[in-house]
Chains A and B, each alone.
Chain A
Amino acid sequence: METLVVESVVKSYGSTLALSGVTLKIAPGVTGLLGPNGAGKTTLLRCLATGLAPDSGDIRIMGRDPRITSDLLEIRRRLGYMPQDDALYSSLTCFEYLEYMALLKEQFNRAARRAHIDELLAEMGLQEKRTSKVRRLSGGMRRRLMLAQALLGRPQVLLLDEPSAGLDPAHRLHFRSLITTGGESRTVLLSTHVTDDVEAMCDAVYVIDRGLVLFQGTPSQLSATAVGRVWISDVRTEGGQVTWRTGDGLYRSVGVAPDGATLVNPTIEDAYLLLVGQAALN
């Protein structure tokens, strides 16, 4: 049973088409949304978060239609959203910020709310920053605070827009643990540029570019699309759609491999570059 269903959704800003008929179905678990800047990922997440109405098309979240007022309220009660940009009040402390967001999420029992917030602050490693003003937090701490607010109320659906941006490696690993906890019953949609995160956490992945879905499947299926199209060489070779020099001095290329090329096992990143590169060329 899919939790998130998006059918032929179109959204434009003036003459700029952000989503040109996106269709996807997302089941419980962790699903990755990969795409370059301007691909439409954030617009899609904002539509799913009910913060933005599509121009046309259908969205169903947990079987409910966000265009119906009663459904909209019920969806918002079960949804956690972490936007790409920090949506914080700089004059509040971490605790005050979470308390305000908890109130907006209808957590009116003071004792339960405060216990829940303290629990989240501890999970995020922010308990020492409980009374610190938001404006004094580092970039990584801000992201963790944003993740904490998304987890308020333990929502059934979690929409995360570039959640690991600005996190150091240790916190990124911790973040993966937090996201995947309860991932079997919860639906997590993760928009990211970080292919490692997709490989490590996601059961399914969508690649979108220019408002269109280019790929849907599992991470292994995604990397399989690049089999025979990734090679390494001592010098830069022809046929590489994208070529870069690796740390050991070799050139890694994705594209149409020349005869005799030393093929290597592709990664998700290779497949992603191949897909997005083709879309750019077309």
Chain B
Amino acid sequence: MTPATASTNPQSTVSRAGRISLTVAIARILNWPIYAAGVGLAVGLSWLASLHTGGADVRAPLLRVALIALSLSAVSLFEDEANELTQTAPRGGGFQRRVRLLVTSAVWILGSFLVVGVGSIDLPSEEGVHSDQFIIEGLAEVGVVLAVAGVVSLSQHSDSSGASAAATLLTLLAISWLLPRQLRPWIVPGHIDWNRVRALWHGVALVTWGVAIATVAIEPYRALTVHSLQRSLPASVPGLGRSD
């Protein structure tokens, strides 16, 4: 019997083909049925919105619900049924998270364009700015989701990154809906400065996406930093200092 131990296997250095195989395998085990259901629901809602002959103000509520449904279904792609096990595999930690983030981002962006596209059918041309708003709002929402999911999945005892992200998203949405109308111009289109709204949401989207990407990109740096920190702290620092 020939042991296939990776460390003794000359192919243990991850080749391009290996990365591709692994990426395809990770993408394959993602929770696609829930996301597909979310896309179906979101597209259905946006199609219902498109039946209205009015402008973006009329279509806004349904399109917003559609985008939220899409975002919530997208976070299911972060859930790993075998997380306790996969995180202990050589390529189960950072690499898997990076692939999940990339795949989730890609399919979410495609889904959101589809939803907004369907919802914008026959939208009066002067209202096009509202479609931009939906896209920006959606990107910011998913940025928040991915940032939370990324941060939670960095924790070594995280079995439910997606659930945490979904809960955070819903909380943020609930808070934003509770705000007075004049304080939430991104929720209710009306007599507002669209340039300001777009600038605001561009900023939110950029920051949240930055956090999301950083959480999966900085793992080696983080490990080294934590290790150095632990070595430098005295033993008396509870939970951080080395016991010796």
Contacts and interface: CB of A to CB of B under 8 A. Distances in A.
Nearest to A74: B7
A103 B81 CA distance: 17
Contact of A87 (B86, B223, B230, B239): B86
Interface residues of A, number: 58
Contacts of B54: none
Contacts of B227: 67-68
Interface in B173-224: 220, 223-224
Given A55-B239, A69-B220, A153-B3, A105 B90 contact: yes
Given A51-B88, A58-B242, A100-B29, A87 B21 contact: no
Interface hub of A56, A89, A116 (most chain B Cβ within 10 A): A56
Interface in A149-193: 149, 152-156
Interface stretch (A106-114, A222-230, A235-243): A106-114
A35 interface: no
Interface SS of chain B: loop
Interface stretch (B12-20, B58-66, B124-132): B12-20
A104 B157 CA distance: 19
A68 B224 CA distance: 7
B9 A106 contact: yes
A129 interface: no
- Chain B contact patch, size range: 35 or more
A217 B213 CA distance: 49
A248 interface: no
B200 to A, nearest CB: 37
A87 B82 contact: yes
A88 B17 CA distance: 25
Nearest to A56: B243
Interface in A1-53: 7-10, 12-13, 21, 46, 49-53
23 contacts: A51-B87, A57-B243, A67-B223, A68-B227, A72-B223, A76-B89, A76-B90, A77-B5, A78-B5, A79-B88, A85-B84, A87-B83, A92-B29, A103-B21, A103-B25, A104-B89, A106-B14, A106-B90, A107-B9, A108-B22, A109-B4, A109-B11, A156-B5
